[in-house]
A and B are shown apart, each in its own frame.
Chain A
């Protein structure tokens, strides 16, 4: 059996142009902040925040509250009352008199969250990364990585004065961190320029048809 997507299709060129024009004007309104704060920027910013929250809310109600709570309850499945009551109890934090009842769902959330995440984090972030750091020492890259890890770790030992050989190691660790910060900042610049290129491509190509 074959299906086609039910996403709305654009019906006429006129609608496309209006969509593009509104999008382009909002893009220009946001970029106008680079000259200085102004009402056009503030309008576009408020629109973005409002739409974003509204979209998330509608999506959550449509994909969670309706199928997971309302529909089961309507079909007589009262097990859905348990998460509904626990979720509702979260809001009791707003009451000074009943606030302590919100600790029950909070405790469940923290307990389940910690139980699920601690072993997974330990495995993926610590043990596997540590094994990879040690096993790679045979190569030049691996040796540099191991040296960087050890030197950076010495920088974060605060119970020992950073003097002598220990201090030198901490300084090397600081240099490794600076290289990391520099690389991260450069990647951030690259990312932001890419976003600007994306918007310019839209303005010059899709909207003005000059590309």
Chain B
């Protein structure tokens, strides 16, 4: 019963905050700034590879991140090559890039291309270091890469200026190991918040140029772009939920301590 009360309370607070249209700004962290700077440093016409390495279930969290990064690229005239190393990320990635490209009037084939999905991520990442065509002979719609103006000039990682892994799992590790360590490609990660603690060490060693994490990361990035979106909309609700959870943890611990004090075992004198 108590479990259901907590769920109801959490839902009620989130709905109330969302309906109130409350907004809260967030300070931009150095790790998000790192991703922004890595893209801002690229010239117009540079090539960014965005890999959708996530499942469908995490789209509400990684979607706003991917949208903000894609917007930054398209706004600056940077070319985007999309692909997916998770089957469920494939359709989501294609749809997201198509939507963001349309918002900036970017043309398929010239400004962006979507390669599709390949299983066996190790082989796919290593293979693209030698030749992207060996791994993806055609784009997601079956057009030869040589028939598209953008991919005609992109052969392997030497022609890619930055890789963005949008992930809810350990895929950025493989990008770092195979594309970063072996082919010296610059990599940034847009992560579900669950994975952040695993990747902060890579940030310290410079193997990742930046990390954008969770809904908060999306809000920070939108702030840097001066274009509030799903991240900014969710921040007030997220903060309210965190405050409620912290309060429940404190109340739960105080109650547990009080019950323990009442128990006979607590009052027993040591022999």
A residues adjacent to B (C-beta < 8 A)? 1-7, 34-35, 52, 55-56, 59-60, 63-64, 67, 113, 116-117, 120-121, 123-125, 128-129, 131-132, 136, 145, 180, 183-184, 187-191, 193-202, 204, 210-211
Query: What are 12 A-B interface contacts by the 8 Å CB criterion?
Result: A52-B88, A59-B90, A124-B177, A190-B193, A190-B215, A197-B60, A197-B237, A197-B241, A198-B215, A198-B230, A200-B18, A201-B60
Instruction: Check A128 against B177 for contact (C-beta < 8 Å).
Output: no
A124-B180 in contact given A55-B87, A180-B197 (Cβ < 8 Å)? yes
Binds A, one of B35-43, B112-120, B258-266: B112-120
Q: Can you list, as one digit per residue, whether each of B103-126 has a CB less than 8 Å from chain A (1) or not (0)?
A: 000011110001011110010001
Instruction: Check A193 against B238 for contact (C-beta < 8 Å).
Output: yes
- Inside 8 A of A60's CB, which chain B residues have their CB? 87, 119
A63-B177 in contact given A195-B60, A198-B59 (Cβ < 8 Å)? no
- Inside 8 A of A190's CB, which chain B residues have their CB? 193, 214-216, 238, 242
Instruction: Check B19 against A204 for contact (C-beta < 8 Å).
Output: yes
Instruction: Check A121 against B61 for contact (C-beta < 8 Å).
Output: no
B182 at the interface (CB under 8 A from A): yes
- Inside 8 A of A5's CB, which chain B residues have their CB? 94, 98, 101, 108, 114, 141
Rounded to whole Å, the gap between the CB of B202 and the closest CB of chain A is 8
Q: Can you list, as one digit per residue, whether each of B22-38 has a CB less than 8 Å from chain A (1) or not (0)?
A: 00000000000000000
Task: Give A112's nearest chain B residue, CB to CB.
Answer: B123
Choose among B10, B56, B197 the residue with the greatest number of A CB atoms under 10 Å from its CB: B197
B75 at the interface (CB under 8 A from A): no
Rounded to whole Å, the gap between the CB of A53 and the closest CB of chain B is 10
Assign chain B's interface to a size class: 35 or more
Instruction: Check A123 against B181 for contact (C-beta < 8 Å).
Output: yes
- Inside 8 A of A120's CB, which chain B residues have their CB? 177-178, 181-182
Query: Contact partner of A116 among B110, B117, B126, B176, CB < 8 A?
Result: B126
A189-B197 in contact given A2-B110, A128-B207, A197-B237 (Cβ < 8 Å)? no
- Inside 8 A of B147's CB, which chain A residues have their CB? 1
How many cross-chain pairs have Cβ atoms below 8 Å apart between A and B? Answer: 162
Task: Give A52's nearest chain B residue, CB to CB.
Answer: B88
16 extra A-B contacts, CB within 8 A, seeds A191-B61, A195-B60, A201-B234: A67-B138, A116-B126, A116-B178, A120-B177, A120-B178, A121-B177, A124-B181, A128-B205, A129-B205, A132-B204, A190-B193, A193-B245, A194-B193, A196-B11, A197-B241, A201-B60
Instruction: Check A63 against B118 for contact (C-beta < 8 Å).
Output: yes
Instruction: Check A7 against B94 for contact (C-beta < 8 Å).
Output: yes
Instruction: Check B14 against A191 for contact (C-beta < 8 Å).
Output: no
Instruction: Check B107 against A198 for contact (C-beta < 8 Å).
Output: no
Query: Contact partner of B117 among A63, A125, A129, CB < 8 A?
Result: A63
User: In whole angstroms, how far apart are the Cα atoms of A63 and B108 in the complex?
Assistant: 20
- Inside 8 A of B119's CB, which chain A residues have their CB? 60, 64
Instruction: Check A56 against B88 for contact (C-beta < 8 Å).
Output: yes
User: In whole angstroms, how far apart are the Cα atoms of A15 and B149 in the complex?
Assistant: 35
- Inside 8 A of B197's CB, which chain A residues have their CB? 180, 183-184, 187
- Inside 8 A of A183's CB, which chain B residues have their CB? 197
